[in-house]
Amino acid sequence: MSIISQHDNQLIKEQFDELLNNLQRVTTRKNKDQIRKAFKVANEAHKHMKRRSGEPYVLHPIAVARIVSEEMGLGTISICASLLHDVVEDTDYTLENIENNFGEKISTIIDGLTKISNVFDKKSSLQAENFRKMLLTLSDDVRVILIKLADRLHNMRTLGSMPPNKRLKIAGETIYLYAPLAHRLGLYAIKTELEDLSLKYRHNKVYRQIGKQIKVNEKKRINEITKFSLPIISRLDSTKLNYEINGRPKSIYSIWNKIQTQKISFEEVYDLLAIRIVFDPMEGIPEKTQCWNIYSIITDIYLPKPDRLRDWVSKPKANGYEALHCTVMGPHGKWAEIQIRSKRMDEIAEKGLAAHWKYKKNGTGEDTELDKWIKKIRELIDDSASDALEFLDEFKLNLFSAEILVFTPKGHIKSLPKNATVLDFAYDIHTEIGDKAIGAKVNHKLVPFSHVLKSSDQVEIISSDKNKPQQEWLKYVTTAKAKSSITKSLKAETTNRIDLGKEILEKELKKYNVQPSGRVFKKLLPAYEVTSKDQLYSNIGSGIIKLENLKKVLRKKSSSKWIWYWRPQFGKQKPIEQEKKESKKFNFKQPFLIREVPDKSEAEYTISSCCNPIPGDDVVGYQDENGSINIHKSNCNEAVKLMSQHGNRIVSAKWTTHKVLSYLARINLVGIDKIGMIRNITEIISQQLSVNIRSLNVEVHDGVFEGLVDLYVHNTADLNNLILNLSKLKGVDSVKREEIVGT
Tell me the average pLDDT across 47-58: 88
Q: What is the pLDDT of residue 525?
A: 83
Q: What kind and span of H or E run contains 346?
A: helix 343-351
Report pLDDT digits (tens) over 684-732. 888 777 788 888 888 887 678 889 999 888 888 888 889 988 988 888 8
Please provide the size of the chain in residues: 743
Is 420 in contact with 479 (CB distance < 8 Å)? yes
Q: What is the pLDDT of residue 124?
A: 46
Distance CA 110, CA 107 (A): 5
Is 91 in contact with 47 (CB distance < 8 Å)? no
Question: Which has more confidence, 389 or 624?
Answer: 624
Residue of 14, 17, 33, 89 marked catalytic: 89
Distance CA 588, CA 120 (A): 24
Q: Band of the pLDDT at 180, cuts 50, 70, 90?
A: confident
Q: What percent of the chain has pLDDT over 70?
A: 82
Q: What is the pLDDT of residue 364?
A: 44
Is 30 in contact with 103 (CB distance < 8 Å)? no
Instruction: Please tell me what DSSP assigns to residue 474.
Output: G
Question: Which has more confidence, 368 or 329?
Answer: 329
pLDDT of 270 strictly over 80: no
Q: Find, among 154, 132, 161, 110, the residue nearest to 645 by Cα.
A: 132
Concatenated DSSP letters of 241-267: --EEEEE-PPPHHHHHHHHHHHT--HH
- Secondary-structure percent of the chain, ordered helix, strand, coil, rounded to 5: 50, 15, 35
Phi-psi region of 616 (alpha: psi -120 to 50; beta: other; left: phi over 0): left
Contacts of 355 (CB under 8 A, 6+ apart): 73, 186, 347, 348
Q: What is the pLDDT of residue 325?
A: 93
Phi (first) and psi of residue 66, to 5 degrees: -70, -40
Tell me the average pLDDT across 440-456: 85
Q: What percent of the chain has pLDDT over 90?
A: 23
Q: What is the pLDDT of residue 368?
A: 60
Distance CA 376, CA 414 (A): 12
Q: In this structure, which long-range contacts are made by residues 120-128, counting pairs with CB atoms below 8 Å and at least 24 apart in sequence?
A: 120/388, 121/386, 121/387, 121/388, 124/387, 124/388, 124/389, 125/388, 125/389, 125/392, 125/645, 125/646, 125/647, 126/648, 127/173, 127/644, 127/645, 127/647, 128/388, 128/389, 128/391, 128/392, 128/644, 128/645
Phi-psi region of 336 (alpha: psi -120 to 50; beta: other; left: phi over 0): beta
Q: What is the pLDDT of residue 584?
A: 47
Partners of 629 in the beta sheet?
605, 623
Return the ∠ at Cα 144 (arms to 79 and 639), rounded to 5°. 120
Instruction: Please tell me what DSSP assigns to residue 562.
Output: G
Phi (first) and psi of residue 655, to 5 degrees: -80, 140
Distance CA 6, CA 245 (A): 47
Q: Band of the pLDDT at 192, cuts 50, 70, 90?
A: very high
Residue 215 three-state SS: helix
Distance CA 732, CA 677 (A): 9
Which parts of 46-163 fold into alpha helices (H)?
A: 59-66, 76-83, 87-90, 95-102, 104-113, 126-136, 143-157
Give the CA distances from residue 365 to residues 59, 313, 362, 368, in Å, rounded to whole numbers and listed in that order.
Answer: 41, 19, 7, 9
Distance CA 319, CA 460 (A): 27
pLDDT of 608 strictly over 60: yes
Q: Between β-strands 619-623 and 629-633, what pairing exists: parallel, antiparallel or unpaired? A: antiparallel
Q: Find, among 464, 548, 565, the residue nearest to 511 by Cα.
A: 548
Distance CA 314, CA 363 (A): 18
Is 437 in contact with 462 (CB distance < 8 Å)? yes
Which parts of 474-612 are beta strand (E)? 592-594, 605-607
90 is catalytic: yes
Q: Band of the pLDDT at 97, cuts 50, 70, 90?
A: very high
Is 246 in contact with 234 (CB distance < 8 Å)? no
96 is catalytic: no
Q: What is the pLDDT of residue 414?
A: 82
Q: Which amino acid is at 111?
A: D
Q: Band of the pLDDT at 278, cuts 50, 70, 90?
A: very high
Alpha carbon 650 to chain centroid distance? 18
Q: What is the pLDDT of residue 581?
A: 41
Tell me the average pLDDT across 75-95: 90
Is 97 in contact with 75 (CB distance < 8 Å)? no
Distance CA 572, CA 644 (A): 37
Q: Find, among 404, 399, 400, the residue nearest to 424 by Cα.
A: 404
Sheet of strand 445-447, all strands in order from the earlier edge strand to the far edge: 445-447, 437-442, 459-463
Q: What is the pLDDT of residue 48?
A: 85
Give the CA distances from residue 163 to residues 166, 321, 396, 398, 419, in Å, rounded to whole numbers and listed in that order.
Answer: 5, 38, 27, 32, 40
Q: Find, among 37, 43, 78, the residue nearest to 60 by Cα.
A: 43
Instruction: Please tell me what DSSP assigns to residue 55.
Output: S
Ranking 88-97, 111-120, 375-384, 597-606 by mean pLDDT, the lowest is 111-120
Is 483 in contact with 477 (CB distance < 8 Å)? yes
Q: What is the pLDDT of residue 24?
A: 79
Question: Which has more confidence, 294 or 129?
Answer: 294
Q: What is the pLDDT of residue 232?
A: 94
Give the CA distances from residue 293 to residues 107, 298, 337, 693, 712, in Å, rounded to whole numbers and listed in that order.
Answer: 49, 9, 17, 59, 59
Q: Band of the pLDDT at 568, cuts 50, 70, 90?
A: very low
Is 499 in contact with 541 (CB distance < 8 Å)? yes
First to last CA, the chain: 54
Ranking 13-22, 238-247, 363-372, 440-449 by mean pLDDT, the lowest is 363-372
Is 228 in contact with 336 (CB distance < 8 Å)? yes
Q: Band of the pLDDT at 381, cuts 50, 70, 90?
A: low
Report pLDDT digits (tens) over 20-35. 998 878 889 999 999 9
Alpha carbon 400 to chain centroid distance? 7
Q: What is the pLDDT of residue 618?
A: 86
Q: What is the pLDDT of residue 129?
A: 58
Tell me the average pLDDT across 113-127: 46
Give the CA distances from residue 136 to residues 133, 398, 482, in Å, rounded to whole numbers and listed in that order.
Answer: 5, 17, 19
Report pLDDT digits (tens) over 288-344. 999 999 999 999 999 998 888 999 998 887 777 899 999 898 877 778 889 999 999
Is 194 in contact with 159 (CB distance < 8 Å)? no
Q: What is the pLDDT of residue 155?
A: 93
Report pLDDT digits (tens) over 461-487. 988 888 888 888 988 898 888 888 888
Averaged pLDDT score across all residues of the chain: 81
Domains of the chain plus CATH, in order, are: 6-204 (1.10.3210.10), 210-359 (3.30.460.10), 489-565 (no CATH), 576-655 (no CATH), 663-738 (3.30.70.260)
pLDDT of 117 strictly over 80: no
Q: Band of the pLDDT at 121, cuts 50, 70, 90?
A: very low
pLDDT of 206 strictly over 70: yes
Distance CA 731, CA 173 (A): 45
Q: Find, among 294, 277, 276, the residue nearest to 285 by Cα.
A: 294
Distance CA 309, CA 295 (A): 10
Contacts of 112 (CB under 8 A, 6+ apart): 133, 134, 136, 137, 140, 141, 144
Report pLDDT digits (tens) over 637-660. 888 888 877 777 888 888 876 666
Q: Band of the pLDDT at 136, cuts 50, 70, 90?
A: low
Q: Which of 139-143, 189-193, 216-220 has the highest mean pLDDT?
A: 189-193
Distance CA 121, CA 134 (A): 17
Concatenated DSSP letters of 151-179: HHHHHHHTGGGS-HHHHHHHHHHIIIIIH
